[in-house]
C-alpha cells in the first residue's frame, strides 16, 4: 500500500521557531487547520477543520478534532500512517519600495506543520467528551449569551454526533516558520512595520504586530 512520505518544510534557520512555548501558543491561536493524509492509492487528501492542541503532564502533544462522517478522508486513516496538519497564521505582501536599497518583493507569513499518527474516535462516551470540550472552548469566546452547552441539549440534538467521527493525532514532530523580515536591517525592518500599520486590512495589521513583538523581544 502506498504511503504519503513527509518531506520537511523548507525553513532557513533565520525563520525557524524551535521554542515549544511559542509554537504551541501559535497553533492554539490559529487552530483552523488543513489536515493532509493519503488515500489507499497514496494520493494526497485534505480537509479544513479546527484542531485543538493539548499537552499532557508528560509533555506529550495531541491534536483533537472531528470529521463529518460522509467525508471519505477518515476512512483511509491508519494508525501507522503519518498525517500532516498545517496551521496558517497572518500573512501579507511586502513591497520592495519599503527598503533603503533596491530589492525584490516578498511575502511575510507565519505557519506551523505538525506531523503525527491518527486515531479515530467512535466510542460514544469518548466522542461526547471530545465534542463537549471543543464546544466549551469555542463557546467561551463566541459572545453568545447564554453559552451553548452540549450536555443541556435535547436528545435529538445530541444524537447528531452520530454524524461525525472523532480524531486524535499523537504529535511526533512540529516544524514552525515565522518569516517576518528578519533578514532586513533595523531601518528597513522598522519601516516595514510602519508601512503595514498604514494598511487597513487585518492581516497586514497582524503581521505588523508580530514583527513589533519580534523587534521588542530579547535577542
DSSP string, 54-112: EE-TTS-EEEEEEEETT-GGGGG--TT--EEEEEEEEEEEE-GGGSSS----EEEEEEE
What does DSSP say about strands 44-50 and 32-38: parallel, antiparallel, or unpaired?
A: antiparallel
Q: What is the pLDDT of residue 1?
A: 41
Q: What is the pLDDT of residue 70?
A: 96
What does DSSP say about strands 52-55 and 44-50: parallel, antiparallel, or unpaired?
A: unpaired
Cα–Cα dist 150/157, whole Å: 9
Cβ 195 vs Cβ 98: under 8 Å: yes
Scored b (16 or more CB within 10 A) or e, 50-63 reads: ebbbeeeeeeebbb
Which domains are assigned to the chain? Answer: 13-183 (2.30.110.10)
Q: What is the pLDDT of residue 3?
A: 54
Per-residue pLDDT of the chain (219 residues; tens, 9 = 90+): 445 566 889 999 999 999 999 999 999 999 999 999 998 888 999 999 999 999 999 999 999 999 999 999 999 999 999 999 999 999 999 999 999 998 899 999 999 999 999 999 999 999 999 999 999 999 998 999 998 888 888 888 888 889 999 999 999 999 999 999 999 999 999 999 999 999 999 999 999 999 999 887 765
Q: What is the pLDDT of residue 151?
A: 87
Q: Any idea which residue has 470529521 for its cell? A: 67
Q: Considering the entire predicted model, what is its pTM?
A: 0.92
Q: Under 8 Å CB-to-CB from 183, ≥6 apart: which residues?
A: 14
Q: What is the pLDDT of residue 134?
A: 93
Q: Under 8 Å CB-to-CB from 168, ≥6 apart: which residues?
A: 62, 63, 64, 118, 119, 120, 121
Amino acid at each position: 500500500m502506498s504511503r504519503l512520505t513527509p518531506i520537511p518544510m523548507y525553513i532557513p534557520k533565520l525563520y525557524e521557531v524551535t521554542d515549544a512555548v511559542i509554537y504551541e501558543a501559535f497553533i492554539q491561536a490559529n487552530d483552523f487547520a488543513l489536515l493532509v493524509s493519503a488515500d489507499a492509492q497514496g494520493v494526497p487528501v485534505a480537509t479544513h477543520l479546527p484542531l485543538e492542541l493539548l499537552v499532557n503532564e508528560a509533555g506529550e502533544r495531541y491534536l483533537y478534532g472531528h470529521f463529518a462522517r460522509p467525508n471519505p478522508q477518515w476512512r483511509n486513516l491508519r494508525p501507522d500512517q503519518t498525517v500532516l496538519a498545517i496551521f496558517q497564521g497572518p500573512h501579507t505582501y511586502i513591497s520592495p519600495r519599503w527598503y533603503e536599497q533596491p530589492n525584490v518583493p516578498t511575502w511575510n507569513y507565519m505557519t506551523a506543520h505538525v506531523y503525527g499518527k491518527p486515531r479515530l474516535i467512535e466510542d460514544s462516551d469518548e466522542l461526547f467528551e471530545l465534542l463537549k470540550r471543543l464546544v466549551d472552548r469555542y463557546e467561551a469566546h463566541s459572545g453568545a449569551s447564554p453559552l451553548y452547552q452540549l450536555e443541556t441539549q435535547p436528545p435529538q440534538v445530541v444524537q447528531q454526533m452520530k454524524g461525525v467521527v472523532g480524531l486524535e493525532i499523537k504529535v511526533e514532530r512540529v516544524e514552525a516558520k515565522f518569516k517576518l523580515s528578519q533578514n532586513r536591517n533595523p531601518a528597513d525592518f522598522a519601516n516595514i512595520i510602519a508601512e503595514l500599520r498604514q494598511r487597513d486590512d487585518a492581516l497586514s495589521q497582524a503581521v505588523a504586530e508580530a514583527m513589533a513583538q519580534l523587534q521588542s523581544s530579547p535577542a
